[in-house]
Amino acid sequence: MLRSFITPVLFRRFYSTNSLTTVKEALSKKPVNQKILVRGRVQALRKYKELCFIDLIDGTCFDRLQIVINAQDKEIPSCGNSIKVHGLVVKSSHKGQEIELVADSWETVGTLPENHPLKDNHNYTPEYIRQFPHLRPRTKRFWCISSIRNHASMAVHKFFQEGEFCFYHTPVLTQNDCEGKREIFTAEFKELPPEMLPKNEQSSTKNTQTVSDDDEENVSDEDEESGNSEYYFGAPTFLTGSGQFHLEALISGLPKVYNFGPAFRTEASRSRLHASEFQMIEAEIAYTESIDDLMNVVEKCLKQVTKSVMDRCPKELNFITKDIKKHERYLENYVSKPFIKIPYKDAISILQKNNSSFRKPIEYGDDIATAHKQFLVKHCNNVPVFICTFPSSLTPAYMKIGENNKAYCFDLFAAYGGEICGGGLREDDPEKLMKTGSFNHSSLEWYVDLRREEYLPHGGFGIGFDRFLLSILGISNLKDVIPFPRRKRECKC
């Protein structure tokens, strides 16, 4: 019965030969002499007497699809507007493109205001673009950065999965300060202030949360007591600065684990390399007793991810780095030359021989400042540099201290990104941890207890993903590679 209602007209309407196609599909498949439907944004427009040529982009690839329309149409699309086009794919005689789409019909589906601050084909400075974090995804520069960021993220997972690491989501909420620097955000429960509520809810700001009868039966006396605590979780709780402690607990089940997620620091610095929220790649490896093993994993990971970006995103990479001298050579060295390994004492010796280059002379035992890191990397021809063996006063309590010039921890410095990785072997003696005073808090009792159980010697590292991107893209400011950057007094959209 239903079949009799499907007339030839309805069949043609619902089963049209105009198939919805992306710009990427059209350019890769080249469906010559076929009619397709594409949607995208007008990146550029060139109007002549009889014809009008449109560069259409849709975010699926770096390149654009040329659309040919009749210049005599009463209305011509404007740059920046989004359109939908039906037409026939034909071979193109124009240089640099194999096909183009001759439009049968088109319509505007989104218009760009005249006063829009980010127009296509305008060469804006990064400083100007940063003012509009919610609008900058439409710029070609930010699209390229986002595309590279996406691919690099997947390449990170690919590296660890191929290395038989197990991926974990470590907690964002925690009661420990892993970094030991007290630069962490407190997580507290608070009702939204009236001005942030929808207008229809502003008249009643009292918390009216209720518990159903079914839920009430499952609430224990212990839960009731904790519910009356001044803290939501029963004790001060923070946004994580690192997932390291939790990864250390997880290696009791699997010998190689990693995470890849957000970390938070109340870093007050307004430098180009700091942010309050950033992405960290962290890994722990059981049964390792040499930081050389850890440094080799870090080096292999960064080289493999960089090489993957170079192979898979060449156009995006070239667009971002086109104005940086010899950047292609820099990346080739990044993936082909061994990373430099320098003991801390040798690094200090190099810096002391060049003390005139710094405002303040450096002494053995001093921290290696940003200017020193930049100098050491440049001294090594811009090849990333591992600095090993730190003075005990600067070594976190959960990292072993070197004895007899043996290194137990390291930092990795690179051009543009500064310090992009740190790691080391973990202290296995619970008494040493307790003597530092940093682990006498009840919230870290479980961490010390790991050493009292069947302890596995292990080590690990953390890679700042955003700083790593700076190091391969030659970008100087962290805010340019983070989609929605957060820093002190800056949390737009």
- Of the spans 35-39, 92-96, 116-120, which averages the highest pLDDT? 35-39
Q: How large a percentage of the chain has pLDDT more than 90?
A: 56
Separation CA 65–CA 81 (nearest Å): 15
**Angle, CA of 398, 241 and 288, to the nearest 5°:** 40
Nearest CA-CA partner of 247 in 289, 274, 271, 280: 280
What pLDDT is recorded for position 341?
95
What pLDDT is recorded for position 9?
40
| C-alpha distances in Å from residue 113, one per residue of 56, 67, 71, 116, 385 | 18, 23, 23, 5, 49
Contact 126, 480 (CB under 8 A): yes
Query: To the nearest whole number, what is the mean pLDDT of the chain?
Result: 86
Q: Which amino acid is at 233?
A: F
The predicted model gives 43-58 an average pLDDT of: 93
pLDDT higher than 90, residue 359: no
What pLDDT is recorded for position 222?
53
pLDDT range class, residue 353, cuts 50, 70, 90: very high
Separation CA 142–CA 481 (nearest Å): 8
What pLDDT is recorded for position 12?
38
Write a three-state SS string for 272-300.
Answer: CCCCCEEEEEEEEEECCCCHHHHHHHHHH
Least confident of 148-162, 362-376, 393-407: 393-407
- For residues 48 and 181, the model is more confident at 48
pLDDT range class, residue 392, cuts 50, 70, 90: low
pLDDT higher than 80, residue 183: no
The pair of structure tokens assigned to 409 is 């921890």
CB neighbour burial string for 161-193, b if at least 16 within 10 angstroms, e if fewer: eeeebeebebbeebbbbbbeeeebeebeeeeee
Separation CA 436–CA 450 (nearest Å): 17
What pLDDT is recorded for position 230?
78
